[in-house]
A = this chain, B = another copy of it.
Amino acid sequence: METLYARLSYQFRDADLLRRALRHCSAGKDNNERLEFLGDAVLGMIVSQLLFHTFPDASEGELSRLRARLVQQTTLAALARDLNLGQYLSLGPGELKAGGANRDSMLADAFEALVSALYLDGGLDLCAARVHQWFQPLLKLNKAQATSKDPKTRLQEYLQARKQPLPQYRILDIAGQDHAQHFHVECQVTLLRAPTNGSGNSRKEAEQQAALQVLSQLGLDDGA
């Protein structure tokens, strides 16, 4: 638990609360389901306020789309992986065997429960400070880089800033004649469970498309 305290830069007064946040219902009673209910609302509120103040000219519709992108399951699961949350989860034997600790839904739920525990133990200001710390890099990239840099560069810079391994690109298939080849590639990053796919008339084009899909799942781009 001490390593998690360090990652959160916060020492829980009530260590049981943090333990409960990391206890999946498959592990029995006193699990994180109720905390997840509250955390979903706390996270929604803090992210909404962050967007409200960061984008003073955005319409309600734009704000709603941004919020939906930031609190989507793949994005929350990636933030949970960045915190190594999976290794602290309590799971029932069945879930443990089935690799539940790396499932997106499991990680996203635990992330919401963690937000809730931070809020109940440390108050709104502390909780908001951590949420800002986690989401600010996503906002910054959404805003500043969306038009100026290509997806592969944006993805690489984001992962480097989070001290994560670089993305792995792999060619799945090259179809067509020499003069009109069509490439299929996949892109794997440690923050996402499954690789994404991309295709195009050059390897680079296909990789850019796969990188864009990763950005989208990380909450960094709408993938449009």
**A-B residue pairs in contact (CB < 8 Å), sample of 11:** A34-B58, A37-B64, A38-B49, A41-B44, A41-B45, A41-B47, A41-B48, A42-B45, A44-B44, A44-B45, A124-B124
* CB neighbours of A60 from chain B (8 A): 33-34, 36-37
Alpha-carbon separation in the docked complex, A37 to B52 (Å):
8
Interface string of A58-102 (1 = CB under 8 A from B): 111001100100000000000000000000000000000000000
**What would 20 more interface pairs be, CB under 8 Å, given A38-B49, A41-B49?**
A33-B59, A34-B52, A34-B60, A37-B48, A37-B52, A37-B60, A37-B63, A37-B64, A38-B48, A38-B52, A40-B48, A41-B41, A41-B47, A41-B48, A42-B45, A42-B48, A42-B49, A44-B44, A45-B45, A124-B124
CB distance from A126 to the nearest CB of B (A): 13
* CB neighbours of A49 from chain B (8 A): 38, 41-42
* CB neighbours of A33 from chain B (8 A): 59-60
Q: How large is the interface on A (under 10, 10 to 19, 20 to 34, 35 or more residues)?
A: 20 to 34
Contact of A34 among B36, B40, B44, B59 (CB under 8 A): B59
* CB neighbours of A64 from chain B (8 A): 37
* CB neighbours of A124 from chain B (8 A): 124
CB distance from A161 to the nearest CB of B (A): 27
Alpha-carbon separation in the docked complex, A80 to B40 (Å):
26
CB distance from A198 to the nearest CB of B (A): 33
Closest residue of chain B to A59, judged by CB?
B33
* CB neighbours of A48 from chain B (8 A): 37-38, 40-42
Residue from A34, A47, A49, A64 whose CB has the most chain B CB atoms within 10 Å? A34
